Amino acid sequence: MNLSSPATQKLYDQNPYGKTFEAQVLSCCEGEKSHKGQFDIILNQTLFFPEEGGQTPDLGLLIPLPSSPDLPAGASPQVHVLDVKIKSGVIHHFCDGPLAPGTPVRGSIDWERRYDNMQNHSGEHIFSGLVHSAFGYENVGFHLSERTCSMDYSGPLTREEIDRLETAANRIIFDNRVIDASYPSAEELAQLDYRSKKALSGPVRIVTIPDCDVCACCAPHVRRTGEVGLLKVLQIQSYKGGTRLMIACGMRALADFRRKQSVLEEVSHLLSSPQEEAAMALSKKLADLLALKDALHEASARLLASDLAVLDPSAANVCLFENGIDPIRLRQAVNQMSAAHSGYCAAFNGSDSDGYSYILSIADGDARILNEQLKERFSARGGGSAAMCQGSLRASRRDLEDFFSAL
């Protein structure tokens, strides 16, 4: 564990668009707990944004410079930055290899990941600012990972309200307003009305979007709202008395549109329908399918009644074979058989190729005895009570009929 390290200079505060930087290794030790097998490297300064404020960290590389004392001339090994944390102002870079203290390094962040986070975090500020000004709700939960951007608001929002907020957010994006990040003095901060999820001490970084939002935030943001590109609400759900939304901005929104467009094109093709009529065509197909299912159930019921009618009324033990019968109807059939026959009554639902589910009963006796025999003979799986058992097995109809004939 690294101890007594000075606070790391946060280069991303002054230069959120920086992609590379130079620094010096202050310390390196083996990682602990969830970072076991990694190396905890502390630098004097960094562009790597740590996991903080609900946002996942930057990733990238640390490359020793040729002037490093422990490296031969021209050598340039590198370590991958796999995670970044901040503790008491010190930023910890968890890497897949060690670097000696005193080593000068060049850091290189994964810019595509960083810029994607900047677009989506700035988009969240725009939307949350509008929610706060329109409804007075607080953003009580925020999570930004490489796949999702979600926000939890402290009150309910309807679909219509969310649509209006989404439209307003995109108008602000298209306005290309300046986004400013600053550290107001204590006196200025005391006079400022800003959003914050918790009480803050020390220097407070304020991110301002004119006529939209003023919020305490530690993360890098884009310079202007136009860089957010587009904001789209993807999911809405009620959550703990409030509302949880998932959004996508920038390239994420484009990727989501492409995925959904591809699905819509495929569905339209399968339905032989124009895209704008796909929902109506699918609704009609589902209605037709339900009608067919109802007709099939009725036909199955008639077939089941016919099969029950031909069972030998004088036989004590009887079995019935069906395929695709509703389990409730099958249970009713077994009850009807038990009322008419004194021995074991069994109904098998399925086929030789797919296997059978079964229900068995006996009016005066213990159905579990026969169930155990099915387990021994056919490796059946199932159980139940003395009155009725159910399960599944794989066997041929002929073998099952022979088994019952021998009871």
Q: Are residues 342 and 326 in the same domain?
A: yes
Query: At residue 273, what are phi and psi to the nearest 5 degrees?
Result: -135, 150
Residue 175, SS3 per DSSP: helix
Question: Which among 261, 279, 297 is the end of a domain?
Answer: 261
Mean pLDDT, residues 17-26 taken together:
97
The beta strands (E) that lie in 14-155 are given as 20-30, 39-43, 45-46, 60-64, 79-87, 90-95, 104-109, 139-144, 149-153
Q: For residue 198, which phi and psi values (nearest 5 degrees)?
A: -150, 165
pLDDT of residue 68: 62
Concatenated DSSP letters for 367-397?
Answer: HHHHHHHHHHHH--EEEE-SSEEEEEE---H
Q: Are 337 and 325 in contact (CB under 8 A)?
A: no
Residue 50 belongs to a domain? yes
- Residues 360, 245, single domain; the answer is no
Helix (H) or strand (E) holding 347: strand 344-351
208-267 pLDDT, tens digit per residue, is 999 999 999 999 999 999 999 999 999 999 999 999 999 999 999 999 999 999 999 999
**C-beta of residue 217 within 8 angstroms of C-beta of residue 207:** yes
Considering the domain architecture, whether residues 84 and 124 belong to the same structural domain is answered as no
pLDDT reading at 72 higher than 90: no
Q: Are residues 146 and 252 in the same domain?
A: yes
In Å, the largest CA–CA distance within the chain is 99
178-193 pLDDT per residue, tens: 999 999 998 898 898 9
The mean of the pLDDT values for the chain is 92
Residues 37 and 74 sit within 8 Å (Cβ to Cβ): no
Is position 97 within any domain? yes
CATH at 398: 3.10.310.40
Residue 64 — very low, low, confident or very high, per pLDDT cuts 50/70/90? very high
377, pLDDT greater than 80:
yes
Per DSSP bridges, beta strands 9-10 and 45-46 are parallel
Specify if 306 maps to a domain.
Answer: no
Residue 290, helix vs strand vs coil: helix
pLDDT classification of 73: cutoffs 50, 70, 90: low
Residues 91 and 201 in one domain: no
Alpha carbons 73 and 96: distance in angstroms, whole number: 23
Same domain, 95 and 185: no
Point out the least confidently predicted range of 183-187, 276-280, 282-286, 303-307. Answer: 303-307
Of 6, 12, 4, 247, which Cα lies nearest the Cα of 115?
12
**pLDDT value of residue 97:** 93
Query: Is 179 among the domain residues?
Result: yes
Least confident of 15-19, 28-32, 112-116: 28-32
Together in a domain, 216 and 354:
no
pLDDT score for 216: 94
Structural domain span for residue 151: 115-261
Is 60 exceeded by the pLDDT of residue 2?
no
pLDDT tens digits, 316-337: 999 999 998 888 889 999 999 9
Q: Percent of the chain having pLDDT more than 90?
A: 79
Domain identity same for 38 and 122: no
pLDDT of residue 75: 46
Start-to-end Cα distance in the chain:
74
Is the same domain home to 169 and 190?
Answer: yes
* Total number of domains constituting the chain: 3
Does residue 252 share a domain with residue 119?
A: yes
Q: Please indicate, yes or no, if residue 371 is contained in any of the structural domains.
A: yes
